Chains A and B, each alone.
Chain A
Amino acid sequence: MEHNIYIYIALMAGTTYLIRILPLTLIRREIKNRFIRSFLYYVPYVTLAVMTFPAILDATQEPLAAALALVVCILLAYFGKSLFLVSVLGCVTVFITEWIMHHLL
């Protein structure tokens, strides 16, 4: 069976968009249940932490460079540095570390 690529893309987009908007549009009021409130409070931090590690180690050519960048980012964020600075200095850490590993070692 021949498939149309635009139908594929439309299905991808439609499914993804529905997942994104259903809770946002259907949950209109503040949830009172203490467990659900607490659960939703913890969700973002857990999700972001789960997605960060160990995936960051596979994002660079050298896992060591990514590990160092992670430490740098955690320290900068802990001391209240801005999102932009945390992100950019993470990239700089990888760049410098990999340069040293590839050129000096």
Chain B
Amino acid sequence: MLGTHKQNFLKGARDGLPIFLGYFAVSLTLGIAAKASGITAFQAMLASLTNNTSAGEFIGFTLIAEGGSYLEMVLMELIANARYLLMSCALSQKMEPKTPTWQRLLMGHGVTDEIFSLSIRVPSKLDPFYTYGAIAVAVPGWTSGTFLGVILGNVLPASLVSALGVGLFGMFVAAFIPAAKKDKVVAGTVAASFALSYLINRLPVFDFLSSGMKTVLLTVLIAGAAALLFPRKEEAADGA
């Protein structure tokens, strides 16, 4: 991407604003769940600051309430967050190969569904400062929302929480639809994703899979099939 680090940081911060709003709304409900699990506002805030993941924290808080083992906690987090492994692989190809390790370590904290959707849609190679800008705006929303969720509980009107709840999905749509418009194969994978995701989430046979595992399985299956049937030409491969 073009521009100085500072310009890219500010651009990331601006693009991160909808994430701030969405995170704030979602993490309020996370805080409410934390409270129900007997976790204090400070502990919930600490978990959000260091984990920065919705499904992983929901599962973690449930396990804490049940008094599960430490090993169980590690395994559940691996399953709930396995999709980040795929996102991290994709991001590794989005960065300049010479990007130093400390930048990669900082970037790592921004591998969330939403910040990833921003990082992956910038033209050509990613400037990590763009992601830092998004992290700097989004993570305080996530952390403060969790904190307030524990303290305030259900004071926000349900209609508002409900409306803010789709904000994050709107961001996902804004990431994959423009790509689908440009590339028919991407459009096909998106259509297949919607259809298969609907089936795997609505058919009771698949209830034994966590939602994180469903995402991983379908991603590997659909992206794998697309890569086998429609391998990309080398010169086009950087267009992501």
Contact = CB atoms under 8 A, between A and B. Distances in A.
B137 to A, nearest CB: 12
Interface in B78-98: 78, 81-93, 95, 97
Contacts of B17: 84
Contacts of B82: 19
Contact of A25 (B93, B104, B162, B215): B104
B179 A45 contact: yes
A50 interface: yes
A80 B178 contact: yes
Interface in B183-240: 185-186, 189-190, 193-194, 196-198, 201-202, 211, 214-215, 218-219, 222-224, 226-228, 230-232, 234, 237, 240
Given A44-B117, A46-B189, A98-B162, A12 B51 contact: yes
Interface residues of A, number: 80
A37 B173 contact: no
A49 B92 contact: no
B146 to A, nearest CB: 12
B139 interface: no
What is the interface of chain B mostly: helix, strand, loop, or mixed?
A: helix
A105 interface: no
B170 A16 contact: no
A91 interface: yes
Contacts of B186: 42, 45
A73 B170 CA distance: 6
B223 A5 contact: no
B108 A51 contact: no
B231 A27 contact: no
Nearest to B57: A12
B237 A61 contact: no
Interface in A55-80: 55-56, 59-62, 65-66, 69-70, 73-74, 76-78, 80
Nearest to B233: A34
A40 B95 CA distance: 13
B43 interface: yes
Nearest to B60: A12
Nearest to A95: B163
A90 B169 contact: yes
A61 B158 contact: yes
A44 B173 contact: no
A46 B171 contact: no
Given A5-B43, A74-B173, A84-B17, A91 B167 contact: yes
B177 A98 contact: no
B193 A53 contact: yes
Interface of A: 3, 5-13, 15-17, 19-31, 34-56, 59-62, 65-66, 69-70, 73-74, 76-78, 80-84, 86-95, 98-99, 102
Q: Which 3 A-B pairs have the closest CB atoms?
A: A90-B170, A21-B108, A49-B193
Given A77-B178, A94-B162, 6 more contacts: A11-B77, A50-B197, A53-B194, A54-B201, A69-B169, A77-B177
